[in-house]
Amino acid sequence: MNLSEKDQLYHWHPYTQHQTTGLLPAIVKGEGALLWDETGKEYIDAIASWWVNPYGHANKLVADAIYAQLITLEHVLFGGFTNEPAVRLSEKLLTLLPSNQKKIFFSDNGSTAVEVALKAALQYFYNQGEQRTKVIAFEDAFHGDTFGAMASSGITFFTEAFQGSLIHVDRIPVPVQGREGESLAQLEKLLQTGDYAAFIFEPLVQGAAGMVMYAPEALEALMKLCQAQKVFTIADEVMTGFGKTGKNFACDYLGVQPDMMCLSKALTAGAIPMALTTFTQEIFDGFLDADVNKALFHGHTFTANPTGCAAALAGLSLLESDEMQANIQRIHQKHLAFQSQIAQHSKVKTTRVLGVVFAFEIKTDNTESYYGNLRNKLYHFFIENGIILRPVGNIVYILPPYVITDQQLDKVYQIVERAIEMV
């Protein structure tokens, strides 16, 4: 029995209907932008394994940092203690994040980073004796799979089984070109009630919605409106963080600073699960009190894991290197060139590029579901041709590791063009 067969025997995979899913490729090795399965087949990882491996697989700098930490201090509880890698990581991050971010809360994945932000927003007002129990989010948002994060997400088939069990979230349109005024007007109407603790958003790019993009100026207007009404703004940068948009963080494009930020995925260079929620001093101070019950009673076993912090520090050194910054710009320029090549294709409806993110929408006669027949056909075509891409309905996106070579990226483009012709 090979690995794929054993996997089918033992495992329950995420976002998978096992009744209709066959054997899955068993990956045994990675290097740079490449992965190999147990049969020796090679794949180009054109989505950086769900956006977490920007510096490539089996990166030696990251591996060495992890090894050095493992033989020094692999883990120590963060409840009642601290550790050097956590302090060093926070010191470094606070020099890169918007200047109003002052406090860092550790957790272990993107969903929990969002959960911490939402709980902090709701409890802040509870601590002040205010009844603000609702949250505002965008339509078609995705913020994770825990209950608060799920409630904030607008992709309904992910959450429809749990309606009635979620916190109250009202949604406004994404301020894409042509809908900026509608989005702003609906937000203004909601804010008049005084019921809202926070507005959560994926800045500039909605990842799971199909890399839907909107302008910084549109987001700034929404954030200013919220902050004028003392509604906290939460930037979910789990996907966009660490260079994806061409800047370290999507919020770096903004003239307004968020009150909280959620970070994970590429934080540890794809090596170890870890997440962060960052806060302004004002929010932190809202939990300081002689009454212990006003503390934020939230925690995770592996909070501020020293080995994860060491991996994150190594990842930040790679992100800031001249080589990685040049790679980000190189990929961006190649995306722009490919965009100009296929934008006029008769089967392509729209295209969009920001940083290393490229996406296009295929024209279809029917409404395509998230995991519909077209998506599945495209996905299997890419896998058969040695390319890892995960289309969203009729939207195909490329978000590669920064170390992908021009030749590898050209192959991805070529396979994508063949996929368009296949439709």
DSSP labels, 226-274? HHHTTPEEEEE-TTTTTTTTSSSSGGGG-SS--SEEEE-GGGGTTSS--
Query: How many CB atoms sit inside 10 A of residue 349's CB?
Result: 13
Determine contact, residues 327/318, Cβ cutoff 8 Å.
no
Instruction: Specify the pLDDT at position 157.
Output: 74
> Can you give the pLDDT at residue 205?
98
pTM for the full model?
A: 0.96
Beta bridge mates, 243: none
pLDDT at 373: 86
Amino acid at site 358: F
Rounded average pLDDT per 10-residue block, the chain, 423 residues: 94 91 95 98 98 97 98 97 98 98 97 98 97 96 91 82 87 97 98 97 96 98 97 98 98 98 98 97 98 95 97 98 98 98 95 98 77 87 97 95 98 97 82
Look at residue 63 in the predicted model and tell me its pLDDT: 98
Dihedral angle sign, alpha carbons of residues 109, 110, 111, 115: positive
Domains by residue range for the chain, with CATH = 3-59+322-422 (3.90.1150.10), 64-319 (3.40.640.10)
**pLDDT score for 155:** 74
